[in-house]
Amino acid sequence: MASRTERFKAAAVKAARTARKWAQTAAREADRLLKEAQKRAKSDQRQRRIKAALRRTGKVLKAAGRAAIVAGIAAGIASARGNHGTRSKKGKR
């Protein structure tokens, strides 16, 4: 069975991977949005598509931000848990 520290470190790694995945998704959405914006949309249908793309990008960026926050918190917890018991036990018998 994994120790508490190992579980927290695994959670931190998993959260970091998730954050990276969402950041990559956000970058793809931003590229897609840029391509849409460069078309200089004039028709109503294109404007609706741009607004939808903006909404999607906003949602993805929010999710990426949340994942990054979770990854940071998990990494901090794992670090605190990992360094907690590393003091030497001199003088204790």
Per-residue pLDDT tens for 50-76?
Answer: 888 888 888 888 888 888 888 888 888
The mean per-residue pLDDT over the stretch 21-34 comes to 85
**Phi and psi angles of residue 62, each rounded to the nearest 5 degrees, phi first:** -60, -45
Query: Quick check: is 88 in a domain?
Result: no
Residue 91 lies in a domain: no
Nearest CA to 23 among 61, 53, 57? 61
- CA-to-CA distance for 54 and 41, rounded, in angstroms? 14
Query: What is d(CA 37, CA 42) in angstroms, rounded to the nearest whole number?
Result: 11
Q: What is the mean pLDDT of residues 16-36?
A: 85
More confident residue, 87 or 74: 74
**Residue 87 placed within a domain:** no
Number of domains in the chain: 1
In-domain check, residue 15? yes
**For residue 21, is it within any domain?**
yes
Is the per-residue pLDDT at 90 higher than 80?
no
Stated as kind and residue range, the H or E segment containing 26 is helix 4-38
DSSP summary character for residue 87: S
Q: Can you give the pLDDT at residue 77?
A: 79
78 within some domain: yes
Domain coverage including residue 18: 4-82
pTM: 0.43
